[in-house]
């Protein structure tokens, strides 16, 4: 297509304008679409920041569909993934009249597993409650009627109901091609449809899991894609850190105990006294949580006190797993379920032995512990993912050259290259969130993978690719280095387009004077006191966004007390009291509520119109300096002579703050106030850099100005 045709497609008389009510031609959107088109044609990498209202989704979908070839679009969350697949993509496709086949691919834990459903029906006595029995019945009615097996379609059972963990698979307990229901597998079906589709919508977790499959020699999606788009790309550095690392958790151990008890009693009752065999494993796993105090925390291995019992308790868990492995090895020949349990037990044992091993102390990675209310996770994380991602990305493009390579790659058995070993180790065992589990176990068990025999035709070379990274928040005053350096995107062309909205007339930025510093114990109370006059003038309709769950609880409590004492009619909706979609529906429905939330409400939330006209942010969202991964990165930056605070912490805070601020103005007609209750924005030298990165709102420190503005809304 002629590049000059793109402006016509986006024009006020073009196909998009005819298809969408209230369509508005935007110069910024056209320019972004042209940048994406150029990247596709040149098979190059672009990093594109598009402010709220630019219309970045259509800006990358239109050129991707018009230019043709296979397209992978990766989003930050399942909610955005569903929105893109069910709403945005079909609308753009139909408007352009381009007959492309599209597919939605989620992590395996989103799909019903026939084998585990059969097992749960056979072992219904092991269900934990009467509610699980009712939910299982509902799933049994849903299963034969569903063509996808996507649990999101089973609306009678909540998405986070405990029963789903029993009737879906994980990469650990999937039997692959040995499964008796393999031919009916919903995951296999979804993946095959994705292989055949022109456009595949995935999420970041699944994308990185798929990327890791390359190390296994397993067929995957990426070699077939000419264009790869990352929407909400600001989340990628954290996601890449997760997948290029390795995690082993007490939850995985307890899942093994649960499955071994059920399968052992059903298929190998005579092989062992299963309750007696599993009791030491379960006890040692639960004892790991007792090695720490009641508070939730993250600690590096080096931060553990000398008298901490973690390492001795890990030794007890390893001994218990070793004894279990010997029993499972004997029973493994009785069937694929028992063989899978043996493999899972052995895998957990090996990963536990490797964590914190002295012989790996020199590797460029960090061992740390995540202590949560429900258990303990042991992480081994790369300090930087830039080199790893750069090698993965450039390694998939046959014409790309890794300019950082100054010498030939060492032999595979050359243990002097610690980083190469790290990449290999991470690639073997990617990990992810429960909701976004990868497909490695399924695909590594497939029997239809072609052998590389001598007489086989050589595989076709992978196509040259365009890589498009886009988000509303990637740059700090048009400087993209914080993002590009984190992912090794030094070859990328960067561009940004500001929001087309009229922020000076639509919005006001208010920083109240006289507040205590954020580390003051009275800060949250002071935030509520300062926000109350604004909330009342605004008749509710407010988000209060906090940087910690503790602040969420305190702010919600204070607001409820204040409203009750004054007889104010404003409902308080608190994160954690209901699922996020339910809270948002309640917020929109009531029309005068105050929603108090933490990180999950800072981004991916779209409340347009008069329903939300006040956003209160309690403090600048600096990452906790005692986070072990961040602390190590800051230490390395300082050792290299850099200013770790200005080059890393401030840009991270700016990007997070821009996400939170972006909840306020969502359309050309929205109006409202952004209240940031952190005087460092004014008093500290770096504060100017932060507020200058926000949209150009009218600024004030006078409460009267804000109240007067809100009373006009």
Inter-residue contact 74 to 231 (CB < 8 Å): yes
Look at residue 133 in the predicted model and tell me its pLDDT.
92
Beta-bridge mates of residue 108:
none
Strand partners, 201: 73, 104
Q: What is the pTM of this model?
A: 0.85
DSSP-assigned beta bridge partners for residue 73:
201, 229
Structure confidence by residue, pLDDT tens digits, 29-83: 999 999 999 999 999 999 999 999 999 999 999 999 999 999 999 998 888 898 8
Over residues 687-699, the mean pLDDT reads 94
In this prediction, residue 171 carries a pLDDT of: 81
User: Which whole-number Å values give the CA distances from 300 to 365, 485, 532, 624, in the listed order?
Assistant: 11, 24, 40, 14
Task: State the distance between the two ends of the chain, measured CA to CA, in whole angstroms.
Answer: 46
**Region 552-562 average pLDDT:** 97
Q: Which CATH class is domain 503-710?
A: alpha beta
Q: How far apart are CA 47 and CA 106, in angstroms?
A: 25
Cα 263 versus chain centre, distance: 33
Given a cut of 70, whether residue 629 has pLDDT beyond it is: yes
pLDDT of residue 463: 65
Same CATH topology for 27-104+182-238+385-402+419-448+463-499 and 503-710?
A: yes
Residue-wise pLDDT tens digits, 323-345: 999 999 999 999 999 999 999 99
Q: Look up residue 97 and give its two tokens.
A: 């009249």
**Contacts within 8 Å (CB) and 24+ apart, 520-525:** 523/618, 523/619, 523/677, 524/551, 524/554, 524/555, 524/558, 524/618, 525/554, 525/558
For 202, phi then psi, to 5°, come to -125, -175
Token code pair at residue 253? 């151990």
Beta partners for residue 508, in sequence order: 673, 698
Domain 27-104+182-238+385-402+419-448+463-499 is found in CATH 3.40.640.10: no
Q: What is the mean pLDDT of residues 416-444?
A: 32
Q: Is the pLDDT of residue 92 over 50?
A: yes
Per domain, the residue ranges of the chain are: 27-104+182-238+385-402+419-448+463-499, 246-379, 503-710
Q: How confident is the model at residue 359 (pLDDT cuts 50, 70, 90)?
A: low
pLDDT band at 413 (very low <50, low <70, confident <90, very high): very low
Q: Is 203 helix (H, G, I), strand (E, B) or coil?
A: strand
Q: Rounded to the nearest 10 degrees, what angle do helices 336-354 and 310-331 cross at?
A: 160
How much is the pLDDT for 417?
31
Per-residue confidence at 418, pLDDT binned at 50, 70, 90? very low
Task: Give me the mean pLDDT over the 123-137 stretch.
Answer: 85
* pLDDT on residue 705: 95
Q: Is the pLDDT of residue 444 over 80?
A: no
Q: What is the pLDDT of residues 376-399, one digit of tens each?
A: 999 988 888 888 888 878 766 655
What pLDDT does residue 26 have? Answer: 95
Contacts of 708 (CB under 8 A, 6+ apart): none
Predicted confidence at residue 423, as pLDDT, reads 28
Average pLDDT estimate for 117-125:
85
Give me the pLDDT at residue 103, please: 94
Q: What is the mean pLDDT of the chain?
A: 86
pLDDT recorded at residue 660: 92
pLDDT beyond 50 at 240: yes
Q: What does the pLDDT read at residue 627? A: 84
- In CATH terms, 246-379 corresponds, of 1.10.275, 3.30.1910, 2.40.400, 3.40.50, to 1.10.275
Average of per-residue pLDDT across 217-231? 75
With bands split at pLDDT 50, 70 and 90, how would you rate the model's confidence at 216? very low
- The pLDDT, as a whole number, for residue 460 is 55
- β-sheet with 199-203: strand ranges across: 102-104, 199-203, 71-75, 227-230, 466-471, 45-50, 493-497
pLDDT mean over 624-652 = 87
For residue 115, pLDDT over 60 is answered with yes
Would the pLDDT of 500 be above 70? yes
Question: DSSP secondary-structure letter at 567?
Answer: T
- Name the percent of the chain lying above pLDDT 90: 64
Other beta carbons less than 10 A from residue 485's beta carbon? 15
Report, in angstroms and rounded to the nearest whole number, the Rg of the chain calculated over CA atoms: 27
In this predicted structure, the answer to whether residue 357 has a pLDDT above a threshold of 90 is no
Residue 616's nearest CA partner among 656, 695, 676 is: 676
Query: 24 with 473: CB under 8 angstroms?
Result: no
Lowest mean pLDDT of 35-39, 248-252, 282-286, 579-583, name the range: 579-583
- Determine the Cα–Cα distance for residues 368 and 259; give it in Å rounded to an integer: 28
**Bridging pattern class, strands 466-471 and 45-50:** parallel
Could you report the per-residue pLDDT of 174-210, keeping only the tens digit for each?
A: 888 889 999 999 999 998 999 899 999 999 988 888 7
Strand partners, 199: 71, 102
Token pair of 9 as six digits: 């497609």
Rounded to an integer, the average pLDDT of 250-255 is 93
Instruction: With beta carbons less than 8 A apart as the criterion, state whether 628 and 303 touch.
Output: yes
């Amino acid at each position: 297509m002629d590049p000059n045709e793109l402006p016509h497609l986006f024009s006020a008389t073009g196909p998009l304008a005819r298809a969408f009510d209230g369509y508005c031609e935007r110069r910024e959107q056209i320019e972004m679409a042209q940048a994406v088109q150029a990247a596709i044609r040149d098979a190059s990498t672009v990093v594109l920041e598009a402010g709220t209202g630019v219309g970045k989704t259509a800006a990358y979908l239109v050129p991707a569909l018009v230019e043709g070839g296979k397209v992978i679009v990766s989003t930050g969350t399942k909610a955005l993934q569903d929105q893109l697949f069910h709403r945005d993509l079909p609308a753009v496709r139909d408007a352009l009249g381009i007959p492309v086949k599209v597919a939605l691919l989620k992590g395996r834990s989103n799909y019903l597993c026939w084998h585990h459903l059969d097992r749960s029906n056979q072992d219904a006595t092991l269900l934990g409650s009467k509610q699980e029995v009712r939910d299982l019945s509902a799933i049994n009615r849903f299963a034969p009627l569903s063509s996808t097996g996507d649990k999101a379609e089973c609306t009678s059972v909540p998405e986070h109901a405990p029963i789903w963990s029993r009737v879906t698979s994980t990469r650990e307990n999937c039997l692959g091609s040995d499964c008796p229901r393999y031919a009916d597998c919903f995951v296999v079906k979804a993946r095959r449809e994705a292989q055949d589709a022109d456009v595949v919508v995935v999420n970041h977790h699944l994308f990185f899991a798929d990327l890791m499959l390359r190390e296994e020699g397993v067929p995957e999606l990426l070699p077939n894609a000419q264009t790869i788009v990352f929407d909400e790309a600001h989340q990628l550095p954290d996601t890449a850190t997760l997948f290029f690392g390795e995690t082993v958790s007490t939850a995985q151990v307890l899942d093994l105990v649960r499955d071994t008890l059920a399968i052992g009693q059903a298929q190998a009752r005579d092989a062992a006294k299963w309750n007696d065999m599993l009791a030491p494993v379960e006890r040692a796993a639960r004892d790991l949580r007792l090695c720490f105090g009641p508070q939730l925390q993250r600690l590096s291995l080096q931060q553990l006190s000398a008298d901490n019992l973690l390492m001795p308790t890990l030794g007890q868990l390893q001994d218990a797993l070793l004894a279990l492995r010997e029993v499972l090895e004997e029973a493994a020949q009785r069937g694929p379920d028992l063989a899978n349990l043996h493999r899972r037990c052995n895998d957990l044992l090996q990963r536990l032995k490797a964590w914190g091993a002295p012989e790996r102390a020199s590797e460029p990675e960090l061992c740390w512990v995540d202590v949560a209310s429900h258990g303990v996770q042991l992480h081994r994380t790369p300090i930087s993912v830039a080199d790893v991602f750069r090698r993965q990305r450039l390694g998939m493009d046959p014409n790309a050259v890794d300019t950082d390579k100054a010498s030939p790659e060492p032999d595979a058995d050359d243990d002097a290259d610690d980083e190469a070993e790290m990449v290999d180790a991470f690639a073997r065992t990617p990990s992810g969130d429960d909701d976004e589990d990868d497909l490695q176990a399924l695909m590594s068990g497939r029997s239809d993978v072609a052998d590389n025999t001598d007489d086989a035709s050589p595989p076709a070379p992978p196509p040259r690719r365009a890589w498009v990274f886009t988000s509303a928040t990637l740059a700090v005053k048009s400087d993209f280095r914080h993002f590009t350096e984190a992912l090794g995107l030094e070859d990328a062309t960067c561009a940004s387009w500001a929001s087309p909205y009229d922020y000076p007339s639509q919005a006001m930025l208010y920083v109240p004077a006289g507040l205590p510093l954020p580390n003051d114990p009275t800060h949250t109370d002071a935030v509520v006191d300062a926000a109350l006059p604004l909330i009342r003038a605004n008749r509710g309709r407010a988000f209060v966004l906090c940087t910690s769950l503790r602040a969420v609880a305190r702010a919600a409590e204070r607001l409820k007390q204040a409203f009750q004492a004054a007889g104010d009619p404003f409902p308080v909706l608190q994160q954690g009291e209901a699922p996020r979609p339910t809270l948002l529906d309640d917020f929109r429905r009531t029309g005068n509520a105050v929603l108090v939330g933490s990180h999950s409400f800072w981004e991916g939330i779209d409340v347009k119109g008069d329903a939300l006209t006040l956003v209160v942010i309690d403090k600048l969202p600096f990452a906790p300096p005692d986070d072990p991964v961040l602390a190590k990165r800051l230490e390395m930056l300082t050792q290299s002579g850099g200013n770790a605070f200005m080059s890393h912490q401030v840009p991270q805070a700016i990007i997070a703050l821009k996400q939170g601020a972006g909840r306020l103005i969502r359309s050309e007609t929205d109006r409202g106030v952004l209240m940031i209750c952190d005087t460092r924005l004014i008093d500290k030298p770096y504060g100017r850099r932060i507020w200058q990165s926000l949209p150009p709102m009218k600024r004030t420190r006078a409460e009267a100005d804000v109240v007067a503005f809100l009373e006009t809304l």
